[in-house]
Structure 1
Amino acid sequence: MGRIIFFEEKNFQGRSYESSSDCPDLNMYLSRCQSIRVELGCFVIYDRSNYMGNQMFLRRGEYTDLQRMGSMMGMGGMTMMDSIHSSRMIPMHRGQFRMRLYERESFAGQMYELMDDCESVQDRFRMSEMQSCNVMEGHWLMYEQPHFRGRMMYVRPGEYRSLRDIGMTAMMRISSIKRITDAC
């Protein structure tokens, strides 16, 4: 179980909304969200409703200014983020992690299996493109740049025939992948 509190203004000011589950549209509760306190668990926040747009992974802690934090983390698209519009709670996963990566959409092309963190998809698999994946076990974060930097996408168990369907832009390439092993 997780617990997150959203605040309309920076530094935990203004109206607030508390949640212990996924929230597809924060606009139902707040006019905007500019700071967050995660009291328990891990969450992924999105700058658009229905779990779309730029994403940021949050673990237990206080986030006083989300715009500033996004720019400090090297998340180019996050610097223009003026508010958070949805959030997803990440359940705790115990056990193995397993994912299959594919060069092309619909699980076509060369396939590689991943069971641990990968700092560089290009260096490890000599794979320049990754357009689909099958997450069999665990929860993962996929990053635009090597060494877990830049914009990211959260994936949970399931088949992803096209990473574009879950928010990858035409210019974005997955360069590193990390397991979510935090005590979420």
Structure 2
Amino acid sequence: MQHVKGIHKMPLLTPAGPFCVVPANAAALLLYRPAALPAPHTELQHRCQPAMGKIIFYEDRGFQGRYYECSSDHSNLQPYFSRCNSVRVDSGCWMLYEQPNYSGCQYFLRRGEYPDYQQWMGLSDSIRSCRLIPHASSHRIRIYEREDFRGQMVEITEDCSSLHDRFHFSEIHSFNVLEGCWILYELPNYRGRQYLLRPGDYRRYHDWGAVNARVGSLRRAVDFY
């Protein structure tokens, strides 16, 4: 087994676990995936299904005061409530945004009750837009240590609570989200600033709205863990 910049480079013929590390410029890649995932000939199919969800925003803590129900993406919630101090998610996974048009600090919420904004790690009672995250039957993401998909690459199909401990990455400069939606956290153990990564290419950290390339952990956007 070779070591490249402190990152374990897995032999192509003996992969193990839901992760592998390969050179980004390799002519041929053999990427391991758990047996539960579909066969390779089906993996390019788009498996995101239409999302069905319901979320209720309350102006006061403990689900009190004026409230507003929502079942789809909404780019501007300002006309419906002036502040948000508690939330009940009846179904689906949601990303809440501090500002209109899906901007500002982001907060990932799955099914459950949140009696005050600290429960979703909110910094204030300002929620101005929301996005319903599509359901996906499988998740797959490639992370790169450099911009424009250069440097060492890791493919992940499961949550990772510490990218530094597992891969010795403290910064990640580009992503390729192949399947499902992911939540990126600035700190390990799913803490710090959050960013929604939908299927697509992210060539540099500005593309996912971050101010730097610091990434501590990654989590699949699913209802239960």
Question: What is the TM-score with the length of structure 1 in the denominator?
Answer: 0.83
Residue 154 (structure 2) pairs with residue 112 (structure 1) = yes
List runs of 5+ in structure 2 lacking aligned partners: 1-51
Q: Is the 8 Å Cα contact of residues 52 and 166 (structure 1) preserved in structure 2?
A: no
Q: Return the match for 1:149 from 164, 183, 191.
A: 191
Q: Secondary structure at the match of 2:172?
A: coil
Which AA in structure 2 matches 1:58? Answer: L
CA deviation profile, 1:46-89 (whole Å, cap 9, x unmatched): 112222222222122222211x325xxxx5xx33x231111111
Residue 208 (structure 2) pairs with residue 158 (structure 1) = no
Q: Secondary structure at the match of 2:78?
A: helix
Cα offset for 1:11? Answer: 2.4
Write the mapping of 1:83-122 to structure 2, written as runs, cut at 5 A. 83-94=126-137, 96-122=138-164
Please give the alpha-carbon distance, in whole angstroms, between the structure 2 residues aligned to 1:35 and 1:9: 6
Which AA in structure 1 matches 2:148? Answer: S
Please give the alpha-carbon distance, in whole angstroms, between the structure 2 residues aligned to 1:140 and 1:2: 18
Q: Return the match for 1:55 from 73, 90, 106.
A: 106
Q: Secondary structure at the match of 1:136?
A: strand
Cα offset for 1:92? Answer: 1.5
Q: Is the 8 Å Cα contact of residues 4 and 39 (structure 1) preserved in structure 2?
A: yes
Q: Return the match for 2:69 from 18, 25, 37.
A: 18
Aligned counterpart, 1:29: 80
Q: Is the 8 Å Cα contact of residues 99 and 113 (structure 1) preserved in structure 2?
A: yes
List runs of 5+ in structure 1 lacking aligned partners: none
CA deviation profile, 1:149-175 (whole Å, cap 9, x unmatched): 2222221211112232332123x6111
Q: How many residues align?
A: 173
Q: Is the 8 Å Cα contact of residues 182 and 219 (structure 2) preserved in structure 1?
A: yes
Please give the alpha-carbon distance, in whole angstroms, between the structure 2 residues aligned to 1:86 and 1:24: 5
Residue 179 (structure 2) pairs with residue 137 (structure 1) = yes
Cα RMSD between the aligned structures? 1.9
